[in-house]
Structure 1
Amino acid sequence: MNHDIWKKIKKNQFDPIYLLYGTEPFLINETKELLVNKAINEEEKDFNYSVFDLEEVPVEVALEDAETLPFIGERRIVLLKNPLFLTSDKGKVEHNIEKLEAYINEPAPYTIIVFIANYPKLDERKKITKLLKREAEVLESNRLTEKEIVAWMSDRVASNGVVINEKAKSLILQLTGTHLLMLTQEIDKMMLFVGQGGEITEDVVMSLVPRTLEQNIFTLIEKTVQRNLTEALRIFYDLLRNNEEPIKILSLLATQFRIILHVKEFSKKGYGQQQIAGHLKVHPFRVKLAAGQAQLFTEKELESIMLQLAEMDYEMKSGKMDKQLLLELFIMRLAK
């Protein structure tokens, strides 16, 4: 993640061309919003801010707009969405790529062009992709690592004059997962609560951050294997009171135990957390949490649990037993 782009934009240091691409739309959108709000005044946006969808409009039409002098103010912003010609896909619109290459080599001094490419990767073999990546200010916004997310949290609170301790950061990640939009909403809420100069502590996190269904399932498993049956059943009954369907709870239990089993198997073969995350197509932080739970079971126990969950799924769907009772019995067996 390139924090330098944000630092430069905040100092009103603008480049003529930006390329924002990757699979983390939240960061791309945050960068775009910051750029638009810093580069042009609110009253100028109607005149000096244009958006073109390159799946509908040829790029040369957008370039004509970019080469037009600003009506009022110092500069204009031209946003180009969906530049499929930077990928291996062809798209349905014919674009004058030579004209775009000429523009990139000599951009208008009064215009900022922003390419928004929500694609996991670009076609690096193409001349236009190479040229754009060389000449533009580039933000590659793919899924952040746990370390990057923690750094991002620290930056966000620090820029608002708030302090957050390390344990609070870990707890926020456990409760909300690694979804940046959700993390932002919760962090902004806590910053508002503690106020400028305040500190986000574990107590603040516990009192303000709601548990996701996945987090409740994770804690339910933790309490169960720690033989804390009372607490495990309390979480289960809370889920039912919140109108969570037993079949959905069962499905999430099966998903979590499947991850725990796979993590145990891959770890035994010497795979690291990043490698396991790649194989399972989940965030490395989720692998880290599952690795902790994997230590509480043998492989045989986990295989037996997966069989039990499969049988419960059949019994629930065939109506052979009461759904709630099936889950209660499973939790009780697991706690023993």
Structure 2
Amino acid sequence: MNEVLDDIKENKIKNIYYFYGSEKYLVNFYINKLLEAIVDKVSRDLNYDMFDDKTANVERILESMETLPIFAYKRVVYLRNIGLFDKKSKALLQKLSDSMAKISDTTCLIIEEHALEKGQGKFNNILKNQDVCRIVNCEIQKESILVKWIQKKFRELEKDIDTKTATYMLRKIGFDMNNILSEINKLSSFKGFENNIRINDIDQICTQSIDSKIFDLLDENRAKKSNKGNADIYKSYIYAGTSAKDFIYDFKTIYVYC
């Protein structure tokens, strides 16, 4: 993912960026970095078009991609979760692919979707061209990475948190980076002029995530029953980014078989 920042630093912006994945904080972070680097505030209204699932229109999108920038070296066309792989978007995807194949160097097309689907023929083939396109998978980050990120964010707020406490905080509030940042700001405000973040501060201020509560339930259940394999499997699903809400309704079944 840092390749996006390298593109910006080296002034080698690709013509196409495709973002997908469960970690929306990272998706927004990298897209905003691209927008800041390509389009200045003065000319943004002239050189930036954003389309979502309500405003997406194939003619308008293609026209925007073919329009030359004004008082700038590039213009940005941002397709934000327009549902490219929906059945109703089949014609749009085909026409978009044709336009992407001949995209101008003066256009930067940013596509954000929930996933990257295989079997899309010409569209997928264009994305594979690394000279023109960069695919960015913004997945849920590993615990070790997030612990260091938590420590970095606290340092930016002139607060200190050790590795053990940061790990405890992460396991309590979950792996969603937007939520982590919100909890960091809550803790920082709570501590005021005090610098050190402690476990009792986290217990007092932070909201326990649904994922964390399910972990506790599974751990408790595993301690009571000999078959612990299912509990470990469901934990791995959550760490992989599966929403806990997707199986809460069926937790009775989980409890029976864990």
TM-score where L is the length of structure 2: 0.71
Query: Equivalences for 1:155-304 in 2 at 5 Å?
Result: 165-187=162-184, 201-203=196-198, 206=201, 210-213=205-208, 258-261=217-220, 263-264=222-223, 268=227, 273=232, 275-278=233-236, 281-283=237-239
Of 90, 107, 126, 2:103 maps to 107
Partner Cα separation in structure 1 for residue 29 and residue 72 of structure 2? 23
2:16 alignment partner in structure 1:
17
Q: Highest CA radius of gyration, 1 or 2?
A: 1
Contact 1:101 1:131 (8 Å CA) reproduced:
no
Partner Cα separation in structure 1 for residue 9 and residue 204 of structure 2? 30
2:118 alignment partner in structure 1:
124
Q: Secondary structure at the match of 1:50?
A: strand
1:90 alignment partner in structure 2:
87
Q: CA deviation at 1:36?
A: 1.0
C-alpha distance after superposition, 1:266-318 (max 9, x if no partner): 98455795x3324xx53379xxxxxxxxxxxxxxxxxxxx99xxxxxxxxxxx
Partner Cα separation in structure 1 for residue 162 and residue 60 of structure 2? 50
Q: Secondary structure at the match of 1:91?
A: helix
2:142 alignment partner in structure 1:
145
2:44 alignment partner in structure 1:
45
* RMSD, aligned α-carbons: 4.2
Which structure has more RCO (C-alpha within 8 Å, separation ≥ 6)? 2
Q: CA deviation at 1:29?
A: 1.5
**When the two structures are aligned, how many residues end up with a matched partner?**
240
Contact 2:173 2:206 (8 Å CA) reproduced:
yes
Q: CA deviation at 1:181?
A: 0.9
Q: CA deviation at 1:58?
A: 3.6
Q: CA deviation at 1:32?
A: 1.4
Q: CA deviation at 1:51?
A: 0.7
Partner Cα separation in structure 2 for residue 47 and residue 129 of structure 1? 28
Q: CA deviation at 1:153?
A: 3.6
Q: Tell me which stretches of 4 or more aligned residues in structure 1 moved more than 4 Å.
A: 154-164, 188-194, 261-273
Q: CA deviation at 1:140?
A: 1.2
Partner Cα separation in structure 2 for residue 176 and residue 18 of structure 1? 31
Partner Cα separation in structure 2 for residue 265 and residue 130 of structure 1? 49
Query: Equivalences for 1:56-67 in 2 at 5 Å?
Result: 56-67=55-66
Contact 1:16 1:112 (8 Å CA) reproduced:
yes
Instruction: Give the 3 Å change call, closer, same or farther, for CA 258–106 of structure 1 in structure 2.
Output: same
- 1:76 equivalent to 2:34? Answer no
Q: CA deviation at 1:141?
A: 1.9
Q: CA deviation at 1:186?
A: 3.6
Instruction: Give the 3 Å change call, closer, same or farther, for CA 125–183 of structure 1 in structure 2.
Output: same
Partner Cα separation in structure 1 for residue 81 and residue 196 of structure 2? 41
Q: Specify every segment of 5 or more residues in structure 1 that has no aligned partner in the other structure, as ranges.
A: 219-251, 286-305, 308-336
Partner Cα separation in structure 1 for residue 7 and residue 152 of structure 2? 15
Partner Cα separation in structure 1 for residue 38 and residue 53 of structure 2? 23
Matched to 1:106, the amino acid is: K
Matched to 1:212, the amino acid is: T
Q: CA deviation at 1:204?
A: 9.4
Partner Cα separation in structure 1 for residue 216 and residue 185 of structure 2? 33
Instruction: Give the 3 Å change call, closer, same or farther, for CA 103–171 of structure 1 in structure 2.
Output: same
1:133 alignment partner in structure 2:
127
Over the matched positions of the two proteins, sequence identity in percent amounts to: 21
Contact 1:168 1:205 (8 Å CA) reproduced:
no
Matched to 1:211, the amino acid is: C
Q: Secondary structure at the match of 1:171?
A: helix
Instruction: Give the 3 Å change call, closer, same or farther, for CA 153–39 of structure 1 in structure 2.
Output: farther
Instruction: Give the 3 Å change call, closer, same or farther, for CA 260–162 of structure 1 in structure 2.
Output: closer
Q: CA deviation at 1:149?
A: 2.2
